[in-house]
Amino acid sequence: MRASLLSRTGRGAWIVLLALYFFVPLVALGIYSLWAGGTRYDLSAYAQILQDPKFHETFRLSAVLAAETILISLALVIPAAFWVNLRAPGLRNVLGLLSVLSFVVPPIVLVGGLTSLFRGPEWFVGTPQFLVAGYVVLSLPYTYRTLDTGLRALDLQTLSEAAQSLGAGWNTLLWRVILPNISSAVLGAALLTFAIVLGEFTFANVLLFNTFAVYINYIGQTQGTPAAALSLISLGITWLAMLGLLRFGRGRVALGGAR
């Protein structure tokens, strides 16, 4: 009795400790972001950030780059992962290994490689679009893993053959059968990519493009309370994205098997 009470208190204390560890800095950051000098607290730091045209500009740029990265990654990875799972399961490990290369190669090396690989054309390397090339590689581990897991949950061969016997070509098969059945994996991959692109600093900074992460860094180094406010805003954006993922992920179709 005593022992169980003790262990229960111990567990409770542990959880409280964990909560403190996570939330104290956040609360402190929140309080600091509201500080307006002396004993005054208000939302002026938030107002300043939200009114800063650079905030909107950089956020919009990063969001557009993220959308492009998502589209390109999905267009590359879905057919590849589908094909490997269906026809060449032996190559799955090779693809898995390739996809995590960006974990092994530091971003600073990657960006060096990119600049020496792409010398032109000007409309590509001269604009922030250039970053997308690197972002696709950076997000590859997440997109590939997520989509591969989604595809593995399906009996691809039977589904493909069933669709084919009903007269469907590869296009119909991918769009009407495969994609709808991995929609939560696709969404997961998209959100992860979005978060990565939004927070990516090294590429943009080295290549001198003004993205959201570069802006956050700039504010952080030059201003006090607005930096705290900005951190919380970007944290909020990430949380909203995660929430969306959880909401969407729940109540998806149950796969396979009989009742």
Partner 1 sequence: MRYLTAENVSKSYGSTVALSPINLSLSQGELVTLLGPSGCGKTTLLRIVAGFNAPTTGRVLLGGRDVTPLPAAKRQMGMVFQAYSLFPNLSAEDNVRFGLKVRGLSGAESEKRLKTLFALIGLEEARKRYPHQLSGGQQQRVALARALAIEPQVLLLDEPLSALDAQVRLNLRDEIRRVQQETGTTTLFVTHDQEEALAISDRVVVMEKGKVAQLGTPEEIYRRPATPFVAEFVGTANGLDAVAQEGGVIAVAGWSAPVQVEAARTFAVGERLRLYLRPEELRLRSSPADGHLSGTVTDKRFLGSVTRLSVRVGETQLVADLQGNEAAAYPVGEAVWVGLSPLAAHVLRATA
Residues that bind partner 1 (CB under 8 A): 154-155, 158-159, 161-169, 172, 176-177, 180-181, 183, 253-259
15 phi, psi to nearest 5 deg: -65, -40
Sign (positive/negative) of CA torsion 54, 60, 62, 65? Answer: negative
Coil, strand or helix at 209: coil
Residues 215 and 52: their CA atoms lie apart, in Å, by 11
How far CA 41 is from CA of 33, 38, 57, 225, in Å, comes to 9, 9, 28, 11
12 versus 79: smaller Cβ distance to partner 1: 79
Coil, strand or helix at 35: strand
9 versus 157: smaller Cβ distance to partner 1: 157
CB of 10 to partner 1, least distance (A): 42
CB of 148 to partner 1, least distance (A): 18
Are residues 85 and 156 in contact, defined by beta-carbon separation less than 8 angstroms? yes
CB of 149 to partner 1, least distance (A): 16
Per 3-state DSSP, the chain is made up of helix, strand and coil in percentages (nearest 5) of 80, 0, 20
CB of 95 to partner 1, least distance (A): 25
Q: Of the candidates 159, 156, 160, which has an alpha carbon nearest to the alpha carbon of residue 169?
A: 160
37 versus 169: smaller Cβ distance to partner 1: 169
10 versus 180: smaller Cβ distance to partner 1: 180
CB of 105 to partner 1, least distance (A): 38
165 versus 221: smaller Cβ distance to partner 1: 165
